[in-house]
Amino acid sequence: MDRLTNTIRPYAWGSTTAIAGLLGVEPTGEPQAEMWMGAHPGAPSRTERGPLNEVIDEDPRAELGARAVDKFGPRLPFLLKILAAGAPLSVQVHPDLEQAREGYEDEEARGIPLDAPHRNYKDANHKPELICALTPFDGLCGFRPPAEAADLIEGLGVDSLKPYVDLLRAKPEDAALREVLTAVLTADRDEMARAVTEAATAAERLGGPYAPYADAARHFPGDPGVIAAMLLNHVTLKPGEALYLGAGVPHAYLSGMGVEIMANSDNVLRCGLTPKHVDVPELLRVVRFEASDPGILRPEASPDGEEVYETPIDEFRLSRYVLPEGDARHDLTAGTPQILLCAAGEVRVGDLSLTPGGSVFVPADEKADVSGSGTLFRATVVA
């Protein structure tokens, strides 16, 4: 197995202290948003054998196992991260597999460079994801029922937002959500900025359920995404709780640190709270306009102590072991590739000792005995 050395991405929304605190090192003073563990070519983990993507490329069947290669191809199909949000991320949505393939092929045919700021599809893959809280974690996930969104927006007392309230109350669910999101994102920018400023002032005064939107407006003054965000469910996760985010579900992470796992893709359609490109027509093609319960996930425990976060896709499977002092050794040997991440305490994987933030890549079929006292996350695939 390979101890991993991982890249920390310094996105502007990252916390300046959370990842450093987990690793037990001094903060740099700069934002540290995500620590990537995997073989994504943008920031592959490094091993003593070389970058993990190159290690896998040399012998995919030995590293990933025949079942995973036959099902997903010769690439590690997931990316594991520690995510630490010190400010809100953009409200965003991810395409399903068919939409991703169509969008990628269309942009390729039109000759849009992969690094173009208006490019939506960096690859032809979908990007379902799961976030599991390590600290109290705030986010937005899925649409509220239109009537609830109408009550929330009306409570601001902003006259220029009343047409959206009326639409939310007068139309069927799909039409109400679609028409209001479309109107918010296509409104005159100056008029919308004034409405958002007035709404932000009211949200600051009212507090309570309005506090997340007041905070978003402080980071993104005048951004129409502040109003779009009010259409979504606000969720607070306790440590150990998780959210699964499937295709077409608008969402945003607001604050906190968690373990995130996703299919190996970089396809994002943004709805707001961002200075980046917002492609409204393509966004409307991808979003599922239906109210939904956020569906907080709690792990299902198995007899051997593994706690599994069940999801409906096969590209990744996330679980954890909470190991008490003196706990028996666990055999995690599998016929699929694994990344094991220590989140608390000290855990031994074979001959390697892991402290918080430490991780290893375990090739398929390689012996993986785990012991120690702490919390260990296990990322693999269903194949």
DSSP 283-300: HHHH----B-----B-PE
Contact 359, 378 (CB under 8 A): no
Tabulate helix, strand, coil % of the chain (nearest 5). 30, 30, 40
User: Is 270 marked active-site?
Assistant: yes
Tell me the Ramachandran region of residue 326: left when phi exceeds 0, alpha when psi lies from -120 to 50, beta otherwise.
Answer: left
Q: Say how far apart CA 355 and CA 346 lie, in whole Å.
A: 5
Q: Say how far apart CA 156 and CA 206 lie, in whole Å.
A: 8
Contact 34, 81 (CB under 8 A): yes
Tokens of 271: 């709805």
Among candidates 164, 178, 146, 173, which has minimal Cα distance to 281? 178
Q: Which of 75, 119, 144, 270 is catalytic?
A: 270
Contact 108, 254 (CB under 8 A): no
Catalytic residues: 270
